[in-house]
C-alpha cells in the first residue's frame, strides 16, 4: 500500500515522461566501470529519417579518432520510442579535459571529413554534462 501511495503522489509531480529502448552500436566500446572522478557528456543527435545506416557507417570510421584518452563510453541508437535518435556518452576528467580532447580530435587527419559527412544527417543536437552519483560504476 505504501508503494501505491508513493506512485500516486509521484504522478502528481510528473508533467511528462518519454521512454526509449536503445541498442548499442556494434563498433563502439561497451560501457565499462571507470575510476573517477569524471564528468560525462551525453550528446544526443536527432537524425533525418532514413540516415541511420549512413550515420553508423561514418561513425564506425570516426570512433578511432576518439579512443586515445578512453573518453568514448558508449554509442546507442533508438529502437523503440522516438526513432532516428543517437546518443553518444563521453567521459572526461573535467571540462578543461573535454575541451582539450575535442580540440585534439580536430587536429587528426580524417576527423574533419567524418564530421563533414555526418553533420548534414542531423536535424537537432544536444549536449548535457552529467556528474555520476557515488553509487555509479562509471565514476
51: in domain = yes
7: in domain = no
Mean pLDDT score of the chain: 92
6: in domain = no
Kindly report the CATH number assigned to the domain that includes residue 66: 3.30.70.100
At 47 the pLDDT is: 98
At 61 the pLDDT is: 92
Which residues does the chain have with pLDDT short of 50?
none
8: in domain = no
1: in domain = no
Nearest to 74 by CA among 49, 96, 91, 50: 91
Q: pLDDT tens across 66-93, in order?
A: 887 789 999 999 999 999 999 999 999 9
10: in domain = no
- CA torsion sign for 11, 135, 92, 59 is negative
- Cα angle at 120 between 72 and 112, to 5 degrees? 50
Number of domains in the chain: 1
* The model's pTM: 0.85
What is the C-alpha separation between 56 and 102, in angstroms, rounded? 20
Q: Which residues form the domain of 115?
A: 18-138
Amino acid at each position: 500500500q505504501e508503494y501505491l501511495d508513493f506512485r500516486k503522489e509521484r504522478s502528481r509531480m510528473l508533467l511528462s515522461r518519454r521512454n526509449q529502448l536503445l541498442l548499442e552500436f556494434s563498433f563502439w566500446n561497451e560501457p565499462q566501470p571507470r575510476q573517477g572522478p569524471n564528468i560525462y557528456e551525453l550528446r544526443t543527435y536527432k537524425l533525418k529519417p532514413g540516415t541511420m545506416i549512413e550515420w553508423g557507417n561514418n561513425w564506425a570510421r570516426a570512433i578511432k579518432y576518439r579512443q586515445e584518452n578512453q573518453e568514448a563510453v558508449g554509442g546507442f541508437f533508438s529502437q523503440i520510442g522516438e526513432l532516428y535518435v543517437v546518443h553518444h556518452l563521453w567521459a572526461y576528467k573535467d571540462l578543461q579535459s573535454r575541451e582539450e580532447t575535442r580540440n585534439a580530435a580536430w587536429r587528426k587527419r580524417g576527423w574533419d571529413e567524418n564530421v563533414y559527412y555526418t553533420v548534414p544527417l542531423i536535424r537537432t543536437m544536444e549536449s548535457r554534462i552529467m556528474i555520476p552519483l557515488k553509487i555509479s560504476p562509471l565514476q
